Amino acid sequence: MLKVTDLKRHFKSGDSIVAAVDGVSLKIPDGQFVSIIGQSGSGKTSLLSLLGALDKPTSGSIEVDNQDITRVSGRELNRYRAKTVGFVFQSYNLVPNLTALENVMLPMEFLGLPKKLRLERARQLLEEVGLSADQMHRKPGKLSGGQQQRVAIARALANKPKYILADEPTGNLDSETGKLIFNLLHDLSKKEKTTIITVTHDLKIAGKTDTSFKLKDGKLAKGTDR
Amino acid sequence: MNWCSRGIRNAFRNLTRTFSLIIILGLSIGLSLAMFISHQAVTQKINNVKGSVDNTISIFPAGLRGFAGGGTPLTQSQLKSVSALPHVVQLNETLSDRLTSSDTNLQSAVSAGFLGRRFAGNGFGGNVKFTPPVTVNGTTSPTDLAVSAATTGGGSFSLLSGTVFSGTSNSNVALVGTGLASKNNLKVGSTFTAYGSNISVVGIFSSGTRFGDNQVVMPLLTLQRLSGETGDVTAATAYVDSVTNLASVTNKIKAVLGSAADITNSQQQAQNAISSLQSIQTISLYSLIGAVVAGAIIILMTMVMIVRERRREIGVIKAIGSSNLRISGQFMAEAVTLTIAASVIGILIGAVAANPITNMLVSNSNSSNSSAAANPGGGVFRQRRFSGAFGGLHHSFANIHAVVGYGIIGYGLLAAIIIALIGSSVSSYFIAKIRPAEVMRVE
Residue A55 to chain B, least CA–CA distance (Å)? 6
Instruction: Among B2, B6, B316, select the one facing A93 at the smallest CB separation.
Output: B316
Least Cα distance to B303 among B273, B343, B339, B278 occurs for B339
Question: With contact defined as beta carbons under 8 Å apart, do B109 and B179 qualify?
Answer: yes
Chain B closest CA to A49's CA: distance in Å? 6
Smallest CA–CA distance, residue B433 to chain A, in Å, is 12
What is B247-310 written as a DSSP string?
A: HHHHHHHHHHHGGGEEEEE-HHHHHHHHHHHHHHHHHHHHHHHHHHHHHHHHHHHHHHHHHHHT
Torsion of CA B29, B34, B37, B42, to 10 degrees: -140
Q: Is A87 on the interface with B (CB under 8 A)?
A: yes
Give burial (CB, 10 Å; 0-12/13-18/19+) of B241: middle
Which residues of chain B neighbour A52 with C-beta distances below 8 Å?
319
**pLDDT reported for residue A225:** 59
Which residues on chain B are in Cβ contact (under 8 Å) with A49?
A: 437, 440
Asked if A140 reaches chain B (Cβ–Cβ under 8 Å), the answer is no
CA–CA distance, A126 with A131 (Å, rounded to integer): 5
Strand-strand pairing, A16-28 and A2-13 = antiparallel
Cross-chain residue pair A75–B323, CB shorter than 8 Å: yes
A92/B contact by beta carbon, under 8 A: no
Cβ atoms within 10 Å of B404's Cβ, excluding its own: 19
CB pairs under 8 A between A and B: 75
Q: Phi first, then psi: give them for residue A79, nearest 5 degrees.
A: -65, -40
pLDDT in tens, B311-324: 888 999 999 999 98
Q: What is the mean pLDDT of chain A?
A: 89
Region of residue A114 (left: phi > 0; alpha: psi -120 to 50; beta: else): beta
Determine the residue of chain B that is closest to A52 in CA distance.
Answer: B319
The residue-averaged pLDDT of A65-77 equals 89
Helix (H, G, I), strand (E, B) or coil at B140: coil
| Residues A110, B326: C-beta atoms closer than 8 Å | yes
Q: What percent of chain B clears pLDDT 70, i.e. is strictly above it?
A: 81
Question: Chain B: nearest CA to A135, how far in angstroms?
Answer: 18
B313 to chain A, closest Cα gap in Å = 6
B20-34, B83-97, B231-245, B367-381: the lowest-pLDDT one: B367-381
Confidence of residue B390 (pLDDT cuts 50, 70, 90): very low
End-to-end CA distance of chain B: 29
- Note whether B174 and B187 are within 8 A (CB): no
The closest CB to that of B440, out of A102, A167, A171, belongs to: A167
The torsion angle over the Cα atoms of residues A95, A75, A89 and A31, rounded to 10 degrees, is 130
pLDDT band at B128 (very low <50, low <70, confident <90, very high): low
Kindly state whether A58 is in contact with chain B, defined as any CB-CB distance less than 8 angstroms: no
What's the pLDDT score for residue B94? 92
Q: Per-residue confidence at B54, pLDDT binned at 50, 70, 90?
A: low
pLDDT score for A119:
95
Interchain CB contact of A162 with B (< 8 Å)? no
**Do the beta carbons of residue B174 and residue B199 sit within 8 Å?**
yes
Residue A81 with chain B: CB contacts under 8 Å: 318-321, 436
Q: Quick check: A171 pLDDT over 60?
A: yes
Q: Give the lowest-confidence range in B76-80, B168-172, B430-434.
A: B430-434
Please give, rounded to a whole number of angstroms, the shortest distance from the CA of A65 to a CA of chain B. 19
Euclidean distance between CA atoms B97 and B103, whole angstroms:
11
B320, B330, B331: which to substitute to probe chain A, counting the most A Cβ within 10 Å?
B320
Give whichever of A96-100, B49-53, B306-310, B415-419 has the largest mean pLDDT.
A96-100
Beta strand pairing call for B232-233 and A211-216? unpaired
Cα distance between residue B112 and residue B118, in whole Å: 9
Record: fold of A2-225:
Rossmann fold (3.40.50)
pLDDT of residue B32: 85
Asked if A87 lies within 8 A of B326 by C-beta distance, the reply is no
- Enumerate the residues of chain B whose CB falls inside 8 A of the CB of residue A45: 440-441
Question: What ipTM did this prediction achieve?
Answer: 0.91
Q: How many Cβ atoms from other residues are within 10 Å of residue B26's Cβ?
A: 23
Inspect the interface and report whether the beta carbons of B441 and A45 lie closer than 8 Å.
yes
Q: Does residue A140 register a pLDDT over 50?
A: yes
Decide: helix, strand or coil at residue A87.
Answer: strand
The predicted pLDDT at position B51 comes to 63
Residue B220 has pLDDT above 90, yes or no: yes
The Cα A118–Cα A103 span in angstroms is: 11
Does the beta carbon of A148 lie under 8 angstroms from any beta carbon of chain B? no
Of the candidates B312, B319, B326, the beta carbon closest to that of A87 is on B319
Winning range, highest mean pLDDT, from A34-43, A184-193, B39-48, B129-138:
A34-43
Rounded CA-CA distance B286/B282 in Å is 6
From A1, A7, A156, select the one nearest A70 (Cα to Cα): A7
The per-residue pLDDT for B264 is 85
Contact A82 B320 (CB under 8 A): yes
Question: What's the Cα-to-Cα distance from A103 to each of A130, A150, B317, B442, rounded to whole Å?
Answer: 16, 11, 10, 20
Name, in order, each residue with C-beta under 8 angstroms of B8's C-beta and a sequence gap of 6 or more. B333, B334, B337
Confidence of residue B288 (pLDDT cuts 50, 70, 90): confident
Quote the CA–CA distance of A124 and A140 in Å, as a whole number.
Answer: 18
**Taking CB atoms and an 8 Å limit, are B321 and A96 in contact across chains?**
no
